[in-house]
Amino acid sequence: MIVQSKFAHYNFNVYDLDKALDFYKKALNLTEKRRRASEDGSFILVYLTDGQTPFELELTWLREWDRPYNMGDNEVHLCVSVAGDYGEVFKYHKENGWVCYENTAMGLYFISDPDDHWIEVVKEK
């Protein structure tokens, strides 16, 4: 059997949903596509879109989570490509204090969200 699959979404758990939504809008221009909340208010799922691809970033907020997330040795990351002037995008991210790692030899860098999830930023091909 060969299973045909397509990527649908990726999930990040977030401690402060409003802060995370503000970051993703300002840093990457991702906008809310839809939202799902439990009836008892114990969780909220927000799906972000880039408005260009079907891929979504799901942000999960849990009411009972009482501390910032600890990423530890987790090296999982999301990657986005940016169009336009890559240098200007880098400068914007740097000026806002979002750049957490640079690899100039490979022509890429990482930004981190308020929960310390890393997002790789590459120039669109």
CATH for 81? 3.10.180.10
Residue 125: predicted pLDDT:
85
| 23: containing domain | 9-63+77-123
Q: How far is CA 23 from the centre of its chain?
A: 9
Q: Classify residue 84: in a domain, yes or no.
A: yes
Express each pLDDT in 60-117 by its tens digit. Answer: 999 999 999 888 777 789 999 999 999 999 999 999 999 999 999 999 999 999 999 9
Is 80 in a helix, a strand, or coil? strand
Q: Classify residue 71: in a domain, yes or no.
A: no
- DSSP single-letter state for residue 104: T
Q: Classify residue 109: in a domain, yes or no.
A: yes
Q: Classify residue 1: in a domain, yes or no.
A: no
If residue 115 lies in a helix (H) or strand (E), which one and from where to where?
A: none
Q: Classify residue 13: in a domain, yes or no.
A: yes
In whole angstroms, give the CA distance from residue 49 to residue 9: 10
Express each pLDDT in 52-68 by its tens digit. Answer: 999 999 999 999 999 99
**CA dist 38 to 45, 56, 63, 100, Å?**
9, 20, 10, 34
Q: What is this structure's pTM? A: 0.90
In whole angstroms, give the CA distance from residue 88 to residue 114: 22
- DSSP single-letter state for residue 35: E
Express each pLDDT in 2-52 by its tens digit. Answer: 878 788 999 999 999 999 999 999 999 999 999 999 999 999 999 999 999
Q: Classify residue 70: in a domain, yes or no.
A: no
Residue 45: predicted pLDDT:
98
Q: Give me the number of domains the chain comprises.
A: 1
Q: Classify residue 72: in a domain, yes or no.
A: no
Q: Classify residue 2: in a domain, yes or no.
A: no
